Structure 1
């Protein structure tokens, strides 16, 4: 969908050249192995090799300590390995092209939102699919494409040109088109949506100036863009998830988010994702800095400081 964990890995330490080489190496190594082996092998390498060196365990623990301080210590330790492992498995899967597509094509979609998605496609109504960095979200995008949806995705370009081309190509093979964030990419995405197509957006990243909504009971600045577009273009707004189940997935379309106002609708998206994460804690990207409490504290302090002009 909008972003993939490998892109997040690149963004996490984009200034460090060894990180770039390591990510490229993981992708290349994965392609040398049979598909049935590459997914668990790359998952293991991410959990026990790349992840610890990149400091992902500390990222996971910091987030867990912030929002779930009472989580038992053994569970936190286990998640410090399991979360990077899930990221590695996704890297291997989405980099596998037709192997991954063929696997997803055998999985029936399910959930209360499925009929609404099909009805909107048949009626030519715009569709906005929302999800998070959870399970394998590109399995959901792939499944929708296999079901006959023309589905685009918004993604954040990687600063390194080699990595950016790699991930652009990877995402495009799964389903096209993909739109880079930025004025031109957003404009192209909106035009695509208004033609009655579907777009996929991930909303679980910290957004400077985002709406002060909650996620796991803590303020998590969130973009309202998906809800705002749904209201503006009368688009169906549906959370869809690719939930890992061993070597396969449950691909679930939840009930559509009712149109009301952008804040209420976006909070419903956050709540939907939170429920999925709580049920499968190892499948969310606890690596990324969703809350950034130090930044929020600094902004709050700035806003409450006496104004010298008063």
Structure 2
């Protein structure tokens, strides 16, 4: 998600010419928040102030209030309230999104019956609501024994040796991975897309900072800091399932491969710096309990020519993340976005 200028991904065949990125670089600009000076100025500026604080401003205040109220709740109660809010949102506020999620599930697995589709759509909205609420109690998950992990030894070894690119997906509660990594002494930098709401942005960054995550500047300004971090043997994380202007860019789900997204960026960083790539993902077991799975090091195709096209690399990485998303589509955050 973001405000990038759209560019249609080029079609790729087995004998296609080397691809070039067609989408313009993403440069993030924080949304303006009208202040007291705008109220005093009168005219259009005062009108903008009043519009904001009657709508988005009240929502921001509500987000802050809910975040701090949830911090004092038992973990399961906090998560359950988030699930209830997600159910209501899917039923009343996001009906079009729910229909799109149903269509996407039929496309992903034509064997699903109507009852199973409804179960997964409900799970999708519940999971989204839980994730938002659980920001308040993420720091309590590891001490409470709410996160189990599989195959972490190779990742810890690679982190100690550096550099390392950790690729992840928006499944389960992906933010819970930060709590787990912090508990293992892993310090890293994150490539991220800022939330749309100012309050959500402040909350997310504060929570991540608590886990020692260094947030890299979004979009084009973050390229040099990311390369520098990896060149110094550091670790970065990035999500390679992504949405651009409401359309899922990756996984490909049978569509032609392209180099206009984070899959290509991840392998470019790895090729440029010699970093190892690991894929990690989170799944929700029940309520506010999670399982994190780490892959073995990703082996990219051999290229004698450093200028070789990226589509082989991108396709290799997609073949790892796509089955993860398909298997966990009922708790995948982007299920209700367009695929075409």
> What is the TM-score when the length of structure 2 is the normalising length?
0.69
Determine whether 1:140 maps to 2:177. Answer: yes
Determine whether 1:249 maps to 2:290. Answer: yes
Deviations 1:213-251 (A, max 9, x none): 763323475430001111111111011112211242221
Q: Secondary structure at the match of 2:213?
A: coil
Q: Which residue in the other structure is 2:19 paired with?
A: none
Instruction: Give 1 or 2 for the bigger CA radius of gyration.
Output: 2
Is the contact between residue 67 and residue 217 of structure 1 (CA under 8 Å) also seen in structure 2? no
Is the contact between residue 227 and residue 273 of structure 2 (CA under 8 Å) also seen in structure 1? no
Q: Which residue in the other structure is 2:322 paired with?
A: 274
Determine whether 1:119 maps to 2:119. Answer: no
Gaps of 5+ in 1: 4-10, 294-310
Q: Which residue in the other structure is 1:238 paired with?
A: 278
1:110: Cα distance to partner? 1.7
Cα distance in 1 between the residues matched to 2:177 and 2:155: 13
Q: Which residue in the other structure is 1:79 paired with?
A: 120
Q: Give RMSD over aligned pairs.
A: 3.2
Is the contact between residue 166 and residue 235 of structure 2 (CA under 8 Å) also seen in structure 1? yes
Q: Which residue in the other structure is 2:8 paired with?
A: none
Q: Which residue in the other structure is 1:91 paired with?
A: 132
Determine whether 1:169 maps to 2:169. Answer: no
Is the contact between residue 329 and residue 335 of structure 2 (CA under 8 Å) also seen in structure 1? no
Q: How does 1:44-63 map to 2 (within 5 A)?
A: 44-49=84-89, 52-55=92-95, 56-63=97-104
Is the contact between residue 190 and residue 213 of structure 2 (CA under 8 Å) also seen in structure 1? yes
| Greater percentage in helix | 1
1:54: Cα distance to partner? 3.1
Q: Which residue in the other structure is 1:285 paired with?
A: 333
Change in 2 beyond 3 A, CA 1:149/1:229: same
Deviations 1:35-58 (A, max 9, x none): 231012211221124663134423
Cα distance in 2 between the residues matched to 1:220 and 1:65: 22
Deviations 1:256-290 (A, max 9, x none): 11132643333233222222233333221244526
Is the contact between residue 193 and residue 218 of structure 2 (CA under 8 Å) also seen in structure 1? yes
1:94: Cα distance to partner? 2.6
Q: Which residue in the other structure is 1:100 paired with?
A: 141
Change in 2 beyond 3 A, CA 1:229/1:289: same
Change in 2 beyond 3 A, CA 1:250/1:159: closer
> What is the TM-score when the length of structure 1 is the normalising length?
0.75
Determine whether 1:183 maps to 2:223. Answer: no
